[in-house]
A and B are shown apart, each in its own frame.
Chain A
Amino acid sequence: MATNPIHSDLTPLPADLGRRWRETFPEIGTGPVPIESMVSRQWFEWERDGIFKRCWLNVGTVDEIPNPGDYIVREIHAAGASILIVRDRDGEVRAFHNVCRHRGNKLVWDFKGHRRGCAWPCRFHGFVYDGKGELVFVPEEGNFKEPLCHKLNLPPVALGICAGFIFINLQKEPDESLETYLGPIASHLGDYPFHNLPQRYHYQSFQRSNWKLALDAQSEVYHVPYLHGQTWPNLFNRPDRPHVESFDMQLYDRHRYGNWPGNPHYQPRDVEIFALGKYSSITRLGQVSQPTGPGINSSNAPDWGFDIVHLFPNTNVLILGGVWHTHQFWPLSENRMLWEIKIHMPEPHNAGERFSEEYGRILLRDALREDGTTHEHTQEALESGAIDSIVLQDEEMFVRHNYWAVEQEIRHWRDGVREHIK
């Protein structure tokens, strides 16, 4: 049989397409998924107490606080906690509850910054804390009955770092180490040089939707030719297929990993040629940041498009041609969330690369805004009560795993039992 030469560099489709993932991972079910956990207050309370107050949560990457005195603040809305993460003069990264020990004022009011001398003063009455969280200065300290310095310190928060990703845990004494918590997903994180691409852009959007449902929209490629038909035409689907089928999926008890193709025959239009071809910075992935091991582009496909590393419960790391970004979904209630996107790209060296970066930023931004519309439309429609479940195809396995993993974590915390993926 004669083959079309244009398809010769495309990875062949597997014979069991359409059923392979449900046959590989029968443990997570095949039936309709009930919508209850997307609309109910009870589920939100379980998630709050059983997941967000207990799990290791990614709160950023070390390149957000490169120098001593740098800090970020993360609001963990679901747990009602504000967390201050600092880099101390000894280079260590530490986390504390963002609350002053005097009368409980929030210590730091913005979300990112630098304190000269690694000293964090309270705006209210001037107590000062250092990068170890120790109280180092109290105005008129002699007026207090007892000396307070080095005694009334900021309450520490457990912190761990894996491949440059910073995690915190809100349990006073976490019941498992970060290493145990991450398990096999850590080896995926370890196989990509994330540090080569600095954080360049950061978006936030408060939305009227359940956090899991929004995460779903970043967990499958089925929607791309429809929802993103104009923004991303043919960027991922190959010329012989209208849809994008995955190369690989690896589902773990909590986390998940997936590997998808790109379209090597994508034809950029007029100006896009300059942004994505000649002068491109966003497509020079090969020069800046090839995977360093089999944990990324696990199929080793030449027509690789992108990977998703999902860090349970609420972080997706997307790695694609010359750009990687994180998506985070922070619940505030069963139907309110903060969506947070951090985009990492190569530092541009000249005007052509800067133009390419700018174009890449807009390409991503406007496709994500399209996703944002579906989050809210879906939430509203589900809350109408008109349907009680959703159905999923084989390529939407990440969506199924999302609900399965959340439910298992809650069962484990609430009932002491859970199922496992073999």
Chain B
Amino acid sequence: MFYEMMVPRLEAVIDHLNQFEMKDFPEPEQHLMTLLLSMAEVTFAVEKFDADESKYDGLPAERFVPVHEHAAGGLYTPFEYK
């Protein structure tokens, strides 16, 4: 699986990418960077929760909203909260 394939290569991947300026990655390096970043999410799930979602009982992701990704910069108050 992705995690097991990436772990032994992680150091080499980071060392390779660290030679480039982040804002002008060539296309292959841009793809590699995306893979590296998704490793953060995957690692967390694998190393902490054995990739078993039922072991995690935090708020559902959709209720903890990353408004830094939203154009409006915040959430409108849901009607049932008004």
The interface centre, meaning the residue of A73, A75, A363, A366 with most chain B CB atoms within 10 A of its CB, is A366
Residues of B within 8 A of A372 (CB): 58-59, 63-64
Cβ-based interface call for A165 (8 A): no
Best-surrounded residue of B57, B58, B73 (most CB of chain A within 10 A):
B58
Report B-chain residues with C-beta under 8 Å of the C-beta of A354: 22, 33, 37
**A206–B57 CA distance with the chains assembled, in angstroms:** 17
A111/B36 in contact, CB under 8 A: no
Interface string of A246-271 (1 = CB under 8 A from B): 00000000000000000000000111
Within the complex, what minimum Cβ distance (angstroms) separates B63 from chain A?
A: 6
Q: Indicate whether A369 sits within 8 Å of B61 (C-beta atoms), given known contacts A110-B73, A348-B22, A350-B18.
A: yes
Chain B residues, CB < 8 A from A270? 7, 43, 47
Closest to B38 in A: A358
Closest to A356 in B: B40
**Residue contact B64 to A368, C-beta cutoff 8 Å:** yes
B27 interface hit (Cβ, 8 Å): no
Say yes or no: B73 contacts A332, CB within 8 Å.
no
Are A373's CB and B57's CB within 8 A?
A: yes
Instruction: Report the contact-size class of chain A (Cβ under 8 Å from the partner).
Output: 35 or more
Contact A351 B68 (CB under 8 A): no
Distance, CA A362 to CA B65, complexed state (A): 13
CA distance A363 to B63 in the complex (A): 17
- Chain A residues contacting B78 (CB-CB under 8 Å) are 206
Using C-beta atoms within 8 Å of the partner chain, give the interface range for chain B.
Answer: 35 or more
Give the complex CA separation of A110 and B20 in angstroms.
Answer: 37
Hey, which chain B residues are within 8 Å of A272, CB to CB?
43, 47
Q: List, in ascending order, chain A residues with CB within 8 A of B82's CB.
A: 332
- In contact, A271 and B64 (Cβ under 8 angstroms): no
Q: For the complex, what is the distance from the CA of A73 to the CA of B73, rounded to whole Å? A: 9
Whether A369 pairs with B22 at a CB distance below 8 angstroms is no
Q: Assess whether B22 is in contact with A201, with CB atoms less than 8 Å apart.
A: no
Closest CB in chain B relative to A267 CB, distance in Å = 12
In the complex, whether B75 has a CB less than 8 A from a CB of chain A is: yes
Question: Which residues of chain A come closer than 8 Å to B18, judged between CB atoms?
Answer: 279, 350-352
CB-CB < 8 A to A348: which residues of B? 22
Identify B22's interface contact among A73, A274, A351, CB under 8 A. Answer: A351
| B14 and A201 form a contact (CB under 8 A) | no
- Asked whether A393 is an interface residue with its Cβ less than 8 Å from the other chain, the reply is no
Number of A-B contacts (CB under 8 A): 131
Q: Would you call B71 an interface residue if the criterion is a C-beta within 8 Å of the partner chain's C-beta atoms?
A: yes
Tell me the residues in window 40-78 of chain B with beta carbons closer than 8 Å to chain A beta carbons: 40-41, 43-44, 47-49, 55-59, 61, 63-68, 71-75, 77-78
Q: Is the interface of A mostly helix, strand, loop or mixed?
A: mixed
Contacts of B36 in A (CB 8 A): 351, 355
Q: Is the CB of A369 within 8 A of B73?
A: no
| Residues from chain A with Cβ under 8 Å of B64 in the complex | 203, 205, 365, 368-369, 372
> Are the C-beta atoms of A271 and B43 separated by less than 8 Å?
yes
Shortest B25–chain A CB gap in Å is 8
A271/B10 contact (C-beta < 8 A), A206-B81, A351-B17, A359-B43 known: yes
B5-21: which have CB < 8 Å to A? 7, 10-11, 14, 17-18, 20
A202 at the interface (CB under 8 A from B): yes
Chain A, Cβ-Cβ closest to B14: A352
Q: In residues 168-208 of chain A, which contact B (Cβ within 8 Å)?
A: 200-206
Distance A349 CA – B23 CA, assembled complex (angstroms):
10
- In the complex the two chains form, is B63's CB within 8 Å of A355's CB? no
Given that A230-B48, A358-B37, A370-B57 are contacting pairs, would A271 and B7 also be in contact in the complex, using a CB cutoff of 8 Å? yes
A and B contact pairs by CB, cutoff 8 A, 17 listed: A110-B73, A111-B72, A112-B74, A200-B68, A203-B66, A231-B48, A272-B43, A278-B11, A338-B75, A348-B22, A350-B17, A352-B18, A354-B22, A358-B41, A362-B41, A366-B48, A367-B58
Chain B residues in contact with chain A, CB under 8 A?
A: 3, 7, 10-11, 14, 17-18, 20, 22, 33, 36-37, 39-41, 43-44, 47-49, 55-59, 61, 63-68, 71-75, 77-78, 81-82
Given contacts A77-B77, A230-B49, 15 further A-B contacts (CB under 8 A): A110-B74, A112-B74, A205-B63, A206-B81, A269-B47, A270-B43, A332-B81, A355-B14, A359-B43, A366-B44, A366-B58, A367-B58, A369-B64, A370-B58, A372-B59
